[in-house]
Amino acid sequence: MLMVLFLICFVVPVASAEEDEWKISWDKNLKFSKTDGSTEIKLGGRIQQDFAVLAPSNGLKNKVPLNDDAGFGTEFRRVRIALAGKFVENVIFKTQYDFASKGNPVDDDTPGFKDVYIGVKGIPYFGTIKVGHMKEPLGQEMMQSSNDLTFMERGLSYMFVSDRNTGIRAENTAFDKNLTWQAGAFVPSGDKGYNPPRNDEFHLTARVTGTPIFEMDEKSAHIVHLGLGSTYQFGKNTLQRFAARPESDIAGKYINTGVFERGDRFTFGAEAGYVYDSFALQGEYMGTSLESSYLHGGYAEASYYLTGEHRNYNRNLGKFNNRVDPLDKKIGAWQVATRFSYLDANDNDIRGGTEKNVTAGVNWFYRKNLKISLNYVWADIAPGGDLNIVQARTQILF
């Protein structure tokens, strides 16, 4: 609502005062722009509605307090409104808020800010510099938007990623965009954007990617992607908890180390991807090192477009994009995929559990901004047992 008021109060008066300089258009979202291209404001968002049927073994039914994860569940996975744009050609901004909530006092997933930053493009050597609340650059799936994932949820190794925090980030490309890098310094602030003065924890995070092979047009693609990333999190007597759901946000957090104190923490990630026309492979490994423990996980996935489309690639940020315009507007684009992932959260005095997942999925893109997904997840969780999940998502972007 505040964003709409902003548009009414700011953009419309300017547009009416200078009708020959402003235009209003729709290109999958509402756009206000100057005809000379110097200024642009976009209003957009997403809605993701999830449904799931969960069938846990007897050993798992009492593992998660207040949630035995048996039966049918549904939730708004994401309900976001975003306002983004640029001023005087090189000053950019974005503000995004997620209204979705589980409504569960046991869970810490509540409505909050996502990307909220101001940036400047075209800075020599540094490229673009952003200041605000944004993603820490670590991992392929982290840098991908949730709109663009192959499966409904990211792989198990996502547990080690800090997601969004408040800080400063620089990003640039080199060698004709065959190499990208992002680096930044952050303080943990969560989706409320708040870091108390007494908290002395801060993060240094960086990622570099390369495309030794890159050929892509509308009808074909041949891409090899490689990447490395790391984050060093400084902290003394920092409270830490690692917890993960079995690739379904409706399920409980079966992998759970509980809260413990730690000092500095180092996390390392390696990623690779391959696209040959409609076929694609992607994988990541991630490990985190504490004073006396090492926890790790990873995944490998394969996908194929039955209708002839191919995955896209963002050369500015070194990331894949599954959103496609269907070649046949009558039947849409159909993609099938499978993934194996694992997580080991046991080492020395940390006993968070281990998990192995096998996931199969089907995505139907009726249009680029309208997608329906169906996933089957089999999770082998120790200690406990196994869990079968059938889940679906309807997603619309605007």
Interval 245-258 mean pLDDT: 94
Do 156 and 343 contact (CB within 8 A), yes or no?
yes
Predicted TM-score (pTM) of the model is 0.89
Euclidean distance between CA atoms 297 and 342, whole angstroms: 5
Residues 6+ apart with CB under 8 A from 194: none
Pairing mode of beta strands 30-34, 71-87: unpaired
Euclidean distance between CA atoms 94 and 246, whole angstroms: 31
pLDDT, one tens digit per residue, over 77-102 is 999 999 999 988 899 999 999 999 87
Give the domains, in start order, of the chain with CATH numbers: 38-397 (2.40.160.10)
Do 60 and 384 contact (CB within 8 A), yes or no?
yes
Do 190 and 218 contact (CB within 8 A), yes or no?
no
Most confident of 24-38, 51-65, 220-234: 220-234
- 40, burial (CB in 10 Å: exposed 0-12, middle 13-18, buried 19+): middle
**Alpha helices (runs of H) in the chain, residue ranges in sequence order:** 2-6, 12-17, 140-143
Q: How confident is the model at residue 64 (pLDDT cuts 50, 70, 90)?
A: low
Measure the CA dihedral 50/55/57/59, to 10°.
Answer: 40
Amino acid at 93: F
Interval 324-348 mean pLDDT: 96
Report which of residues 162 and 29 the model is more confident about. Answer: 162
